[in-house]
Amino acid sequence: PKKATVLVDCDTGVDDAMALLYLLLDPDVEVCGLTTVFGNISAETAAINCLRVLELVGMEHIPVAKGADVMIRGDIPELAPHVHGQDGLGNSNLPMPKGSWQDETAAEMIARIARERPGEVHLIATGPLTNVAIALAMEPELPKLIKHVTIMGGAADAPGNQTPAAEANILHDPEAAQAVLSAAWNTTLVPLDVTMEELITEEHRAHFERVATPVTSFVARITDHYFDFFHAESFDVRCSPCHDALAAAIAVGDVEPIEAPVVNVEVECGYGPGRGATICDTRGRYRGHPPQEGARCRVVLKTDGTFADVLSRRLETWPPPH
Q: Which residues in 229-266 are b (16+ Cβ under 10 Å) and which e?
A: bbeeeeeeebbbbbbbbbbbbbbbebbebeebbbbbbe
Judged by beta carbon, residue 16 or residue 26, the one nearer Ca ion is: 16
Q: 65 to 84, contacts with ligand BDR by CB under 6 A?
A: 80, 83
Tell me how many residues contact ligand BDR (CB under 6 A). 15
101: number of Cβ within 10 Å: 24
Question: Does 15 interact with ligand BDR (rule: CB under 6 A)?
Answer: yes
Complete DSSP assignment for 138-206 = H-TTHHHHEEEEEEE---SSS--SSSSS--HHHHT-HHHHHHHHHSSS-EEEE-HHHHTTSEEEHHHHH
240: amino acid identity, one letter: S
Identify whether 244 is a catalytic site residue.
no
Instruction: Considering only the C-alpha atoms of the chain, give the largest distance between any 2 of them, rounded to a whole number of Å.
Output: 57
Interface with ligand BDR includes 92 (CB under 6 A)? no
Tell me how far apart the alpha carbons of residues 111 and 116 are, in angstroms, rounded to a whole number: 9
Subset of residues 272 to 291 that bind ligand BDR, contact rule: CB under 6 A: none
Nearest of 41, 21, 22, 32 to residue 12 by alpha carbon = 41
Q: Which of these segments, 10-18, 45-53, 93-101, 269-277, binds ligand BDR (CB under 6 A)?
A: 10-18
Among 8, 9, 13, 177, the residue binding Ca ion under the rule CB under 5 A is: 13
In the complex, least distance from residue 286 CB atom to ligand BDR, rounded to whole angstroms: 28
Residue 126, interface with Ca ion (CB under 5 A)? yes
Q: Which is nearer to ligand BDR, 145 or 311 (CB)?
A: 311
Q: Is 16 in the site for Ca ion (CB under 5 A)?
A: yes
Binding status of residue 191 toward ligand BDR by CB under 6 A: no
- Cβ(23)–Cβ(252) below 8 Å: yes
Rounded least distance, CB 252 to Ca ion, Å: 17
Work out which of 13, 33, 63, 257 binds ligand BDR, going by CB under 6 A: 13
d(CA 60, CA 44): 17
Smallest distance from the beta carbon of 172 to ligand BDR, in angstroms? 8
Binding part of the chain for Ca ion, among 215-223, 243-251, 252-260, 311-319 by CB under 5 A, reads 243-251
Known catalytic residues are 11, 243
Q: Which residues bind ligand BDR (CB under 6 A)?
A: 13, 15-16, 40, 80, 83, 126-127, 152, 161, 167-169, 243-244
